[in-house]
Chains A and B, each alone.
Chain A
Amino acid sequence: MTSAGSGLSLLQTCALSLLVFTGASQFALVGALAAGGNPLTAAAGAFFLGVRNAFYGLRLSQLLALPRAVRPFAAQWVIDETTAVALAQPTRRSIRIGFVVTGLSLYVLWNLTTLLGALGAEALGDTATWGLDAAGPAVFLALLAPMLRTGTERAVAGLAVVLGLGLLPVLPAGVPVLAAALAAPAVLFVEGRRESRKGLR
Chain B
Amino acid sequence: MNTWIAIGVTAVGCYAVKLAGLLVPAGVLERPLVKRLAALLPVALLAALTAQQTFADGRALMLDARVAGLAAAALALFLRAPFLLVVAAAVVVTAGVRAMVGETGRWGGETSAVSQWAGRTP
| Chain A residues engaging chain B, CB cutoff 8 angstroms | 7-9, 12, 15-16, 19-22, 24-26, 28-29, 31-33, 35-36, 38-40, 42-43, 45-58, 60-62, 66, 71-72, 74-76, 78-79, 128-145, 147-148, 152-153, 156-161, 163-165, 168-169, 173, 176-177, 180-185, 187-188
- Given A46-B14, A130-B91, A136-B53; A161-B48 close (CB under 8 Å): yes
Which residue of A8, A50, A138 contacts B13 across the interface (Cβ within 8 Å)? A50
The residue in chain A whose Cβ has the minimal distance to the Cβ of B19 is: A75
Q: What is the interface of chain A mostly: helix, strand, loop, or mixed?
A: helix
- Given A28-B49, A168-B61, A183-B44; A134-B66 close (CB under 8 Å): yes
Interface residues on B, range: 35 or more
Please determine whether B48 and A163 come into contact, CB atoms closer than 8 angstroms: yes
* A187 neighbours in B (Cβ, 8 Å): 40
| Between-chain CB contacts (< 8 Å), 24 pairs | A12-B3, A19-B15, A21-B14, A39-B6, A58-B21, A58-B29, A61-B21, A71-B19, A131-B93, A133-B53, A134-B54, A134-B94, A135-B90, A140-B53, A144-B43, A144-B50, A156-B43, A160-B44, A165-B56, A173-B59, A177-B45, A177-B52, A183-B47, A184-B37
Q: In the docked arrangement, what's the CA distance between A133 and B70, Å?
A: 11
Which residue of A24, A71, A173 contacts B42 across the interface (Cβ within 8 Å)? A24
- Given A39-B2, A54-B29, A130-B91; A141-B7 close (CB under 8 Å): no
| Chain B residues engaging chain A, CB cutoff 8 angstroms | 2-7, 9-11, 13-15, 17-24, 26, 29, 33, 35-56, 58-61, 65-66, 69-70, 73-74, 77, 83, 86-87, 89-96, 98
Q: In the docked arrangement, what's the CA distance between A158 and B40, Å?
A: 12
Please determine whether B40 and A156 come into contact, CB atoms closer than 8 angstroms: yes
How many residue pairs bridge A and B at CB < 8 Å?
294
Please determine whether B21 and A55 come into contact, CB atoms closer than 8 angstroms: yes
- Given A20-B10, A33-B6, A39-B9; A48-B21 close (CB under 8 Å): no
The residue in chain B whose Cβ has the minimal distance to the Cβ of A50 is: B14
Q: In the docked arrangement, what's the CA distance between A130 and B90, Å?
A: 11
Most buried by A among B36, B51, B91: B51
Closest 6 CB pairs of A and B: A57-B21, A164-B48, A131-B95, A131-B94, A180-B48, A138-B90
- Given A51-B38, A71-B19; A134-B6 close (CB under 8 Å): no
Q: In the docked arrangement, what's the CA distance between A182 and B47, Å?
A: 12
* A43 neighbours in B (Cβ, 8 Å): 5-6, 9-10, 13
The residue in chain A whose Cβ has the minimal distance to the Cβ of B9 is: A43
* B74 neighbours in A (Cβ, 8 Å): 141
Please determine whether B66 and A137 come into contact, CB atoms closer than 8 angstroms: yes
Q: In the docked arrangement, what's the CA distance between A182 and B96, Å?
A: 36
